[in-house]
Structure 1
């Protein structure tokens, strides 16, 4: 049974950690959102000089007639998938970021159920359906460049991630498999067995590919060779997973099998600490040492090393999205359709608007719809709200 809890506001100074030398800060994603939670680390942070400080205005809105995925925002276009209104499968949409009009005609991605996911990089857009069909498109024209069926599995619910010429993804059905795919050709470069392979978009850095599944079965692999680096394991396993986040030298993992969310050391997979949240809470976002966590409908800031909290924001107590951070402002949406922007340092709300439709939770455990999430880039903050995709800017 899932235990419910109430977050109490914690107020305190951010304390240094004795004897800890902070790692060099990783550069924030600039100007584009290229996978789930913005970048290959899934840390939810973006710098875009084209996105003005809030308040923002609605620039355009599109109704796709089915539940809408997290968007990709790159190359002057916004890409998203939506569940088909006529049976199984999803539809890929490409929208001109400036006008909200179709950049090219929608493409049916097919597949069982209503799940699909996108990534972008190397001048290509990558779409994957539930059956493991991974397809590369020309993002300017929609022309198909290659398509490949991932071998050995039949259930695919892990959004792909592009990094350094490779697309990483996962599959399940008979055990689990992590795949590294040549982004130029679709050829599988290497595979590795993992425990069950569900719902975990690979987080990728120059030195590691990280995935995390039920019961805190988390792994690190060498990005080029697939050689295992470490395996953080517990006494149980099961279906399901959660997308991990790489931030401040740690791997932030969540688990809905009853374990408290943890922070693992990137170098060896040992537990650095735990943080109070439900395992099914959305992925946190990070801006330097500041982490932003949505749990039980409330947003809380925590220092990434001490886990001390300086502020809490309840909004309408129905906050639903994984937060993202754009130019130091934290954006978060609600099941009631409210969208907020907050000062990341103080938690002070600086703008809000109602988008006119519920902003649904990211469902990392089912294939009943595409995975949802906020994104930004090309001067816009982009919000999937039920069947609509909406863009805000100046």
Structure 2
């Protein structure tokens, strides 16, 4: 399927696109570096904001882009020092920078509007039918994701257009980390696992590191110039720390079993879950073991990744005892002492990472149940029964939990969910066509996810329709003249933050009064004083539901003499994406008699 919409709200910094890199599939050396293809950087954000505009205003903004590209062309910085100005709300790596899979900066999507989420675009990878494990990273308006078709992709976050792809020579089931203009990602299975560093703007290879083990599950964590990754192998070294700039091995550590989980790094400590049934804490500088703590009995393929918040490590694993039930553990981050545990009787294991937000731990089980637990005590707050096993990790943003349920869509019917984080109530769901273990991420009003294809969801489209109706149509000097500005939302989505602008007290008149009628909440207007002239801007006070009308009425006094033409115009816009800009401006003229 092609791109479904041409744009989205708040585009980020425009990127300089280079040629698609060609990767060598031959066996690289243990650590190889390519000094070519470093990006020129991306020095500032695009001046274009996503609101509906009049044609003249849009033209001015488009003209403003030219100097930006000229400035970008003169920038000369390395990939490790580029100034692409990532937003704090970006999702830079699997666990996010806070190691909690919680985006506290999200303000667009929330409990009150997530039900209007709609598919904005879809990008089909080279093998859309294959089960996908890689979860997206979203940085500076670009989506980075791996695929089982042996490629890493960079996509425009607003449109889904491909910016570049890089062939790794092996399946990419780990989730990229994007830091300082570099994409770090692992690929390959069995003994062919490789960690790659790629130029985030062009996709050119910067360096690669051959692990000698399996890099199918553990996603890299990048903190303070170091890349940390777990390895599935029997080489006696299951956690690697690499220089982010050169790929040089800084240290390696043995946990006693394969490390298929993704590391969490906080306060100078690396936390990993090993399939020997223990959680390990390692010194981030030298790999020295600080402590280990059992999280279940003897287990195989214990791939759940930890989250760290407020001095506590949260992890899901096989539960204790012969029942092999799933369990959630809370450990003291400094000592490894168990603070509490919760037995998830609904399923045999937890294979995802918890999300921790606002004092609550969210984690799903293979038994189709998502649990919300008090982070301090482990007490269950609520649970949600999904249509399939919850083998992916939840994401939390602005009071909403997003979780993917694997299963047969033809039977289960719903696979990607949005739930009220406080109550567990289902707010929205979307059916998926493929089984997937990818986890959703939420950035700037969009939800990104991979299920064979990369999918992007945003608020449902609104179609605003504006008219201007003067009363009376025959006026004389000294008369009062009223202009009505009815705005219809033709839907299908709710129009959030609707504004009536480009509205002036027309020449030849003076301001008398303005009033609003229509949807609940009505709104507010800024206007000149009585008898004055100038601009009027009106903000609708609540979201406009589909098929509703909001009307502003402006009354002015005619001061112009007979024969004068009075012209009024206006434009309407909203925060919700609107694909039809042709019907949101209007102009009317009438002659004084």
Question: Is TM > 0.5 for Structure 1 vs Structure 2?
Answer: yes
Q: Distance in 1 between matches of 2:388 and 2:186?
A: 34
**2:127 is the alignment partner of 1:70:** no
**2:302 is the alignment partner of 1:217:** no
Change (3 A) 1:60 1:44: same
**2:414 is the alignment partner of 1:351:** no
Change (3 A) 1:343 1:381: same
Q: Which runs of 5+ in 1 are unaligned?
A: 1-28, 85-89, 363-371
Paired position in structure 1 for 2:89 = 31
**2:354 is the alignment partner of 1:293:** no
Contact 2:277 2:299 survives alignment (8 Å):
no
- Report SS of the residue matched to 2:168: strand
Q: Distance in 2 between matches of 1:80 and 1:344?
A: 26
Deviation string, structure 1 residues 340-371 (Cα, Å, up to 9, x no partner): 222211223222333x41453x3xxxxxxxxx
Change (3 A) 1:174 1:318: closer
**2:374 is the alignment partner of 1:303:** yes
**2:336 is the alignment partner of 1:276:** no
Change (3 A) 1:271 1:298: same
> Which of these residues, 83, 89, 100, is aligned with residue 160 of structure 2?
100
State the number of aligned residues: 344
Deviation string, structure 1 residues 6-51 (Cα, Å, up to 9, x no partner): xxxxxxxxxxxxxxxxxxxxxxx9412222243462x221134464
**2:450 is the alignment partner of 1:384:** yes
Deviation, structure 1 residue 116: 4.1
**2:329 is the alignment partner of 1:262:** yes
Paired position in structure 1 for 2:176 = 118
Give runs of aligned pairs for residues 188-267 of structure 1, distance below 5 A: 188-233=249-294, 240-242=301-303, 243-256=305-318, 258=324, 260-267=327-334
Q: Pick the structure with more strand per residue.
A: 1
Change (3 A) 1:325 1:30: farther
Q: Distance in 2 between matches of 1:351 and 1:173?
A: 44
Deviation string, structure 1 residues 230-286 (Cα, Å, up to 9, x no partner): 122589766533212213422222334837442221111122121112433432211
> Which of these residues, 148, 165, 170, is aligned with residue 209 of structure 2?
148
Change (3 A) 1:348 1:234: closer
* Normalised TM-score (structure 1): 0.80
Runs of 4+ more than 6 Å apart: none
* Normalised TM-score (structure 2): 0.54
Q: Which moved more, 1:239-248 or 1:281-290?
A: 239-248
Contact 1:203 1:244 survives alignment (8 Å):
yes
Q: Distance in 1 between matches of 2:198 and 2:124?
A: 23
Q: Distance in 1 between matches of 2:312 and 2:419?
A: 25
Contact 2:176 2:219 survives alignment (8 Å):
yes
Deviation, structure 1 residue 99: 1.0
> Which of these residues, 33, 42, 52, is aligned with residue 109 of structure 2?
52
> Which of these residues, 405, 412, 415, is aligned with residue 338 of structure 1?
415
Change (3 A) 1:145 1:40: farther
Q: Distance in 1 between matches of 2:333 and 2:177?
A: 24
Flag the structure with larger Rg.
2
> Which of these residues, 165, 174, 181, is aligned with residue 242 of structure 2?
181
Deviation, structure 1 residue 289: 1.0
Contact 1:155 1:173 survives alignment (8 Å):
no
Change (3 A) 1:187 1:358: same
Deviation, structure 1 residue 186: 0.9
Deviation, structure 1 residue 227: 2.6
Q: Which runs of 5+ in 2 are unaligned?
A: 1-86, 460-593
Deviation, structure 1 residue 301: 1.4
Contact 1:341 1:352 survives alignment (8 Å):
yes
Q: Distance in 2 between matches of 1:208 and 1:78?
A: 28
Contact 1:73 1:79 survives alignment (8 Å):
yes
Q: Distance in 2 between matches of 1:50 and 1:234?
A: 36
Contact 1:213 1:255 survives alignment (8 Å):
no
- Report SS of the residue matched to 1:168: strand
Paired position in structure 2 for 1:167 = 227
Q: CA RMSD in A?
A: 2.5
Q: Distance in 2 between matches of 1:234 and 1:159?
A: 21
Q: Which moved more, 1:133-142 or 1:331-340?
A: 331-340
